[in-house]
Amino acid sequence: MKSKKQLILSNFAVFFACMLLILGPARAQSDRNGDRRVTSSYFISNATVIPTAGKIHRNYDIVFKDGIITQIGKNLTVPKDSKEIKGESLFVYPGFIDLGNQLGVQPPELPDRPSDFDTSNPIPELAGIHPQFSSADHYKFSESDENEMRKLGFTIAQKIPVGNGMLPGTTTIVIYGHEKNNNLLKEDKSLYFQFNTVGGVYPHTKLAVMAKWRDLFQNAVLYQEHTAIYEKNKLVKRVTTDPVLEALIPVTQNQKTLLVAGRNELDVRRALKMQEDNNFKLILLGVNEGPELIPILKSKQVGVILKLALTDDNFLEGLEGEEQGKDYEERLKKGQEAYLESLRLASKYEKEGIPFAFTSLDLDKKDFFSNLKLMVSNGLSKDVALAALTSNPAKLLGIESISGSIAPGKMANMVIMTDSLFSKDGKVSMVVSDGYLFDYTEENSPEKPGNQVWTYAAETPVGQSKGSWEFFKKNEQWNGTVSYDSPKGTGIKKTKMENLELKDDSLSFSFKVETEEAVLDVTVTGTINENKFEGSMDISGYNQFTVQATKKEKPNNNHE
């Protein structure tokens, strides 16, 4: 004999299978946080799509399946079983690419110093010379850290090895996808170099670092030549394996780029001198000064990665009274000019036609969008700023065939925003990374007085179901939307309210829900007492259900 609960489930099986999805179950059935894909096919409809810098398509659709973009265009047919993302009023950009950060990268374990340690001739690892180390071996995906970058729109990053000396190791390209996936796109991409020393051992100065580099480079060339000779003639003395020199060979043969930290103008000049002495492919990471070097960099076709972290504006407000000191006005003027010069640096690269990318090293994440807009307001064009986040880094990394723009055949990496990237009110609403959808709508909602969000819960025979209502004014008239999980299994949907009447003490509205078999008419009525609502939800052809809601002040991003 069936229990009472079993009878209820039997009688209402089809209905509640739909309604639990419609009203939003306690555990969401769709992937709004990148946890899993409920379907391998997704459909973004009627969005403003910026597939690459300089192009804009309005009312475009995008289809992506199994993490790959399959179609882009107008009036596309919605694939069967696809999850639809309503794109009206949304802007879709290619996923941003960060050409340098160290989030999740740990320093390598180094051997202990021996008792007879010679500081003038230390083993390479203790001198900070371990180019054979890969950042992939010391990188651990941290959802909390990577999610902070993903919230900003970044979907791919180059991970920089951590180390104190001149050659910490090689870089790794990762994607900010699902934390349980293999998110490594490419290991050993570039060899990282920095003008750093390890205290108390040789090389102990920056000049010594440059001298050591020349020795290593030349020895790597000789090592390769000797190895090649040995392969042809086994009578020649066999070369003793040297992992340091082996790691340098691809750089000496221009098969791998040397990524040099250009933390200041002097370091940039040193790197250029190194390239002049020993021909190799050079990319400068973290450039934030030295505009007079731009013509030289252009003539040498050096890759440039500028810092998103800008110089502090400490000089703009000035000092008061006794704090000013001698020659205050002159120092203030120089400080102000230096700050403004840093804001104009990107525009100067653009003026000279030098493509560049960005790194988030030293960036306070809350400053990302404001710093980007500061560069634009100081001469950088919006198209070039977007290219520096998308197509330019893809080319520098050699992954332009799979990323950097929105096109069929490329990875499904996209930033979905409530407004244009450089507008005042533009916020990241969602990010698609490796085909996974991450929803940041609520987190990035700006406060907008007058708009209302109500979270509701309806009591059904199989438990409590939840959802949200949003109200906003247009032309002095209240409008509203209802958010719910689609009964078709295509994710959270938002539909317009009809016959809406919102008063201080009462609320009523209706809306329609499409299921696989029918269109359901739903009517909500009830009373309001301050920020509480109590009433009923009437689904045509079915019973009434008690519904309660709580009001909180939040805006509706889709109606800015």
pLDDT digits (tens, 9 = 90+) for 386-417: 999 999 999 999 999 999 999 999 999 999 99
Considering only 239-243, 419-423, 474-478, 516-520, which range has the smallest mean pLDDT? 516-520
**What is the arrangement of strands in the sheet containing 452-460, beginning at the earlier edge strand?**
492-496, 477-485, 463-474, 452-460, 544-552, 532-539, 519-529, 506-514, 498-502
Integer CA distances (angstroms), 282 to 122, 190, 272, 277, in order: 28, 10, 8, 13
DSSP string for 273-323:
HHHHHS---EEEEEE-S-GGGHHHHHHHT-EEEEESSPPP-TTSS---GGG
Give yes or no for a contact between 283 and 304, defined as CB atoms under 8 angstroms apart.
yes
Nearest partner of 88 among 541, 419, 355, 427, judged by Cα: 419
DSSP string for 470-506:
EEEEETTEEEEEEEEE-TTSS-EEEEE-EEEEE-SSE
Give yes or no for a contact between 42 and 61, defined as CB atoms under 8 angstroms apart.
no
Q: How many C-beta atoms lie closer than 10 Å to residue 487's C-beta?
A: 21
Q: Which fold has domain 100-315+327-403?
A: TIM Barrel (3.20.20)
- Per-residue pLDDT band at 435 (split at 50, 70, 90): very high
Tell me, what DSSP letter sits at residue 466?
E
- Per-residue pLDDT band at 320 (split at 50, 70, 90): low
Quick one: tokens of 250? 């691809």
Q: What is the pLDDT of residues 59-77, one digit of tens each?
A: 999 999 999 999 999 999 9
Considering only 110-124, 207-221, 371-385, 456-470, which range has the smallest mean pLDDT? 456-470
Q: Which of residues 232 and 348 earns the better pLDDT score?
A: 348
Give yes or no for a contact between 283 and 257, defined as CB atoms under 8 angstroms apart.
yes
Give yes or no for a contact between 346 and 291, defined as CB atoms under 8 angstroms apart.
no
Which pLDDT does position 41 carry in this prediction?
87
- E strand residue ranges, 30-124: 41-49, 57-65, 68-73, 83-86, 91-94, 96-101
Average pLDDT, the chain: 85
Which pLDDT does position 442 carry in this prediction?
64
Distance from the Cα of residue 215 to its chain's centroid: 39
Arithmetic mean of pLDDT, 117-140: 94
- Using DSSP, state whether 160 is helix, strand or coil: coil
Which pLDDT does position 99 carry in this prediction?
98
Which pLDDT does position 322 carry in this prediction?
54
Which residues, other chains included, contact 399 with Cβ-Cβ below 8 Å and sequence gap of 6+? Answer: 156, 173, 185, 186
- Per-residue pLDDT band at 314 (split at 50, 70, 90): low
Dihedral (CA of 112, 114, 119, 123) sign: negative
Alpha-carbon distance 359 to 314, whole Å? 23
Q: Same CATH fold, 100-315+327-403 and 37-94+404-444?
A: no
Nearest partner of 64 among 407, 371, 372, judged by Cα: 407
Cis peptide before 203 (omega within 30 of 0): yes
Which pLDDT does position 232 carry in this prediction?
83
Arithmetic mean of pLDDT, 161-182: 93
Alpha-carbon distance 560 to 555, whole Å? 8
Query: Which pTM does this prediction carry?
Result: 0.73
Helices 4-11 and 13-23 cross at an angle (nearest 10°) of: 80
What CATH number belongs to 451-551?
2.40.128.120
The distance between the two most distant Cα atoms of the chain, rounded to a whole number of Å, is 98
Q: Which of residues 287 and 290 earns the better pLDDT score?
A: 287
Q: What is the pLDDT of residues 259-283, one digit of tens each?
A: 999 999 999 999 999 999 999 999 9
Q: Which of residues 420 and 35 earns the better pLDDT score?
A: 420
Quick one: tokens of 8? 């209820």
Which pLDDT does position 434 carry in this prediction?
95
- Domain 37-94+404-444: which CATH number of 2.30.40.10, 3.40.50.2300, 1.10.1200.10, 2.40.50.100: 2.30.40.10
Give yes or no for a contact between 411 and 181, defined as CB atoms under 8 angstroms apart.
no
Give yes or no for a contact between 429 and 556, defined as CB atoms under 8 angstroms apart.
no
* Burial (0-12, 13-18, 19+ Cβ within 10 Å), 419: middle
Residue with tokens 């102000």: 336
Helices 382-389 and 328-351 cross at an angle (nearest 10°) of: 80
- Per-residue pLDDT band at 318 (split at 50, 70, 90): low
Nearest partner of 300 among 323, 277, 321, 317, judged by Cα: 277
Which pLDDT does position 154 carry in this prediction?
98
Considering only 300-309, 359-368, 473-482, which range has the smallest mean pLDDT? 473-482
Domains of the chain, by residue range, sit at 37-94+404-444, 100-315+327-403, 451-551
Which pLDDT does position 110 carry in this prediction?
92
Give yes or no for a contact between 416 and 431, defined as CB atoms under 8 angstroms apart.
yes
Which pLDDT does position 551 carry in this prediction?
86
Q: How many C-beta atoms lie closer than 10 Å to residue 317's C-beta?
A: 9
178-189: b or e for each residue (b if 16 or more CB lie within 10 Å)? beeeebebebbb
Strands 414-417 and 428-433, sheet pairing = antiparallel
